[in-house]
Amino acid sequence: MPDNELNRRDFIKVTTGIVGGLIGAAIGLPAISYLLDPAFKSGGKEAWIPVGKIADMEIGRPYPFSFTRVQVNGWERTSTSHGGFAIRKSEDPKDIVILNSRCTHLGCTVNWKDDAQAFLCPCHDAKFSEEGMVLDGPPPRPLDRYADFRLTDDGILEIFYKES
Amino acid sequence: MWKKIFDWLDERLGLVDLYKNLLDRPEPQGNWWNTLGSASLFLFIMQAVTGIFLTVYYTPSPDHAYDSINYIMNGVAFGWLIRGIHHWGATLMVIVVFVHMLRVFFTASFKYPREMTWLIGVGLFLLTLGMGFTGYLLPWNQKSYWATTVGTQIAGTVPFLGDFILKALRGGSNLSALTLQRFFAAHIWMLPAALAGLIGAHLYLIIKHGESHFPTKDD
C-alpha cells in the first residue's frame, strides 16, 4: 500500500476524532453560552414612572409619592418600594426638585414635617432641608434626586427610573 | 519538541500502555451489538455532563422547582437543548442499557469467567432505573408528582415492611418538600456515585477478561 493512502485503522481513528469533535463542539459551545447566559443579559430595565398631576402639587410644599417595582431574577420576583417627594419651587412647571425619600445614612424613609420645615429620618434623627441638604445628623450626603423628569401633555409629572 | 514532551509524560504516566490496554484491545469479529456497552457509557457521560449543567439553574424546592425548569426552557440560552438532551438521553439510556443486557443474555456472555461482570451489570441496570425514577419527580409538575405518588405507593405494598419503605422513600407519609429533596440528593449524589463506582468495576472486568466471542451455530 502506498504511503499516502489511509489504511482502514487510521481512517476509523480520524473519522472517530472528527465525529467526536463535532459532537463535542455541538454540545460544548451551547453549554458555554448556557453557563454564561446571565452575564450576556442586559439588566436594568428602564421606565417612566408617573408621580402625580402637576396641578395637585402646591408650590413650596413637598408632594409625597411612592411606587413599586417588580424585579424578575430568573424565576424569582422581588418587589421593591420606592418613594420620594416632588417640590415645586415656582409657577414654572420645570422648576421642580424631586427627592428620593431614602435616607442617605442607612436607608430608612424620611418624612416631611411641616412644623420643622424639614425631612426627618425616624431612625437616627437625621434632618434634611426642603432642598435635601443635610441639616443635622449622621447622613454623609444630601438626599438623592431624580434628575430626569418630564411633563406629559395632560400635566402628569413622570420620573425616569432605571433598575440597578 | 512535542515528541520530547510526550515521551517525558509517557515515561511517567504510561500513556501508550494505557491506550493499548484500554482502546487498542483485541476484539472478536466486529458486531454492532457489541457496541451497546460503549453506547451506555457514552450516554452515562452525557447525562452526567448535562445533569451538572442543569443544577446551575434548577432549584429542588416545591416553591421553585417548576419555575426554575420553566426558566431553563424559556429564559436561558440553549437551556432547551441541555434539558432536552438530559430528558431524551434518560429514556434512551434505559433502552440502551436494557438492550445491552438482552444482548449479553442471548449471547450467553454472562458465563464463566464473566459472572461478576453480569451481576455488576444487573446492579448498573437497577441503578439506571433508579435514576429514571428519581429524576422523573424533579420537574415537580402534575405528571411527575402523581407518577411518584403511584410509584412510591407500589413500593409501599410490600408485605410487613411496606409502610416503612414508603416513608423512607417519601421522607414521611406524604409526598412533600422532603420527598423532592431526597429524590434530588439520590439523583445527583448517591445513585451517580454508585453508578460511577460500579461502571469502574464493570470496565475493569471487561478489560481483564476481554470480550466474549459471539456464539457460533455449533455452540
Span B162-214, pLDDT tens digits? 999 999 999 999 999 999 999 999 999 999 999 999 999 999 999 999 888 87
Q: What is the CA radius of gyration of chain A?
A: 29
Minimum distance, in Å, between the CA of residue A75 and any CA atom of chain B:
6
Q: Which helix H or strand E contains A161, and what residues bound it?
A: strand A156-162
What is the tens place of the pLDDT at every residue in A48-95? 889 888 888 888 889 999 999 888 888 888 888 889 998 888 888 788
Q: Flag whether pLDDT at A163 surpasses 80.
A: no
**Is the minimum CB–CB distance between A73 and chain B shorter than 8 Å?**
no
Minimum distance, in Å, between the CA of residue A36 and any CA atom of chain B:
9
**Is the minimum CB–CB distance between A9 and chain B shorter than 8 Å?**
no
Taking an 8 Å cut-off on Cβ atoms, the answer to whether B67 and A75 are in contact is yes
Taking an 8 Å cut-off on Cβ atoms, the answer to whether B53 and A76 are in contact is no
Query: Residue A82 in contact with residue B74, Cβ under 8 Å?
Result: no
Q: Cα(A53)–Cα(A144) distance, rounded to whole angstroms?
A: 22
Confidence of residue A26 (pLDDT cuts 50, 70, 90): very high
Only one residue has cell 402646591, namely A58
Query: What is the four-CA torsion angle of B193, B197, B203, B205, rounded to 10 degrees?
Result: -160
Give the number of C-alpha atoms closer than 13 A to the C-alpha of residue B153, restricted to the C-beta side: 8
Taking an 8 Å cut-off on Cβ atoms, the answer to whether A74 and B57 are in contact is yes
Minimum distance, in Å, between the CA of residue B23 and any CA atom of chain A:
11
Which residues, including other chains, have CB under 8 Å from residue B66's CB and lie 6 or more apart? B139, B140, B141
Q: Flag whether pLDDT at A3 surpasses 70.
A: no
Which residue ranges form the domains of chain B, and what is each CATH number? Answer: 32-209 (1.20.810.10)
**Is the minimum CB–CB distance between B81 and chain A shorter than 8 Å?**
yes
Per-residue pLDDT at B150 = 96
Q: Identify residue B142 by its one-letter amino acid code.
A: Q
Q: How many CB atoms lie within 10 A of CB B114?
A: 21
Q: Flag whether pLDDT at B30 surpasses 80.
A: no
Q: Which helix H or strand E contains A95, and what residues bound it?
A: none
- What number is the average pLDDT over the span B52-73? 95
Q: Are strands A111-113 and A96-100 parallel, antiparallel or unpaired?
A: unpaired
CATH class as words, domain A46-162: mainly beta
Q: Cα(B167)–Cα(B174) distance, rounded to whole angstroms?
A: 8
Chain centroid to CA A122: 25
Provide, as residue numbers in chain A, all residues whose Cβ is less than 8 Å from the Cβ of B65: none
Taking an 8 Å cut-off on Cβ atoms, the answer to whether B77 and A74 are in contact is no
Cell numbers at B127, concatenated: 441503578
**Is the minimum CB–CB distance between A34 and chain B shorter than 8 Å?**
yes
Q: DSSP character for A42?
A: -
Taking an 8 Å cut-off on Cβ atoms, the answer to whether B76 and A27 are in contact is no
Q: Flag whether pLDDT at A131 surpasses 90.
A: no
**Burial of A137 from C-beta contacts in 10 A (0-12 / 13-18 / 19+):** middle
What is the tens place of the pLDDT at every residue in A33-48? 999 998 888 777 788 8
Looking at this predicted complex, what is its ipTM? Answer: 0.84
Q: Cα(B84)–Cα(B215) distance, rounded to whole angstroms?
A: 39
Q: How far apart are the first and last CA of chain B?
A: 53
Length of chain A as a residue count: 164
**Is the minimum CB–CB distance between B212 and chain A shorter than 8 Å?**
no
Q: Show me where the domains of chain A are located.
A: 1-41, 46-162
Q: Cα(A84)–Cα(A62) distance, rounded to whole angstroms?
A: 9
Phi, psi (deg, nearest 5) at residue A93: -65, -15
Count of A-B CB contacts under 8 Å: 42
Taking an 8 Å cut-off on Cβ atoms, the answer to whether A34 and B53 are in contact is yes
Per-residue pLDDT at A54 = 85
Confidence of residue B158 (pLDDT cuts 50, 70, 90): very high
Q: DSSP character for B71?
A: H
Taking an 8 Å cut-off on Cβ atoms, the answer to whether B75 and A27 are in contact is no
